[in-house]
Amino acid sequence: MVQYYAIAGRQVGSHHLALGILSSLFGGVYLATRGSSQPKPAAPPIKAESKDEETFIQDFLKQVNGEDKKAGH
């Protein structure tokens, strides 16, 4: 035996309402947690005069990013 509700002038069974609510809930959770489809932007190129300067800049950026990660915890 199913309980019927009058919605927008039509008779709708309680099991249809339950399925509609559950599907919208799980569908919303899926859409909210599926993540970004865009790839992360690449870092701008390093314009250095020499190879030593380029390695210095890369090491400095690694050091700064490492400190940011430690400070975030």
pLDDT of residue 72: 57
The answer to whether 17 and 5 have CB atoms below 8 angstroms apart is: yes
pLDDT of residue 71: 64
Q: Which residues of the chain have pLDDT under 50?
A: none
Strand partners, 4: 13
CA distance 15 to 21: 10
DSSP state of 6: E
pLDDT of residue 42: 73
The answer to whether 58 and 46 have CB atoms below 8 angstroms apart is: yes
**Looking at the 3D structure of the chain, how many domains does it have?**
1
pLDDT of residue 39: 76
Give me 53's structure tokens: 């300067």
- pTM score of the predicted model: 0.47
Domain extent at residue 53: 4-69
Amino acid found at 44: P
pLDDT of 10-22, one tens digit each?
A: 999 999 999 999 9
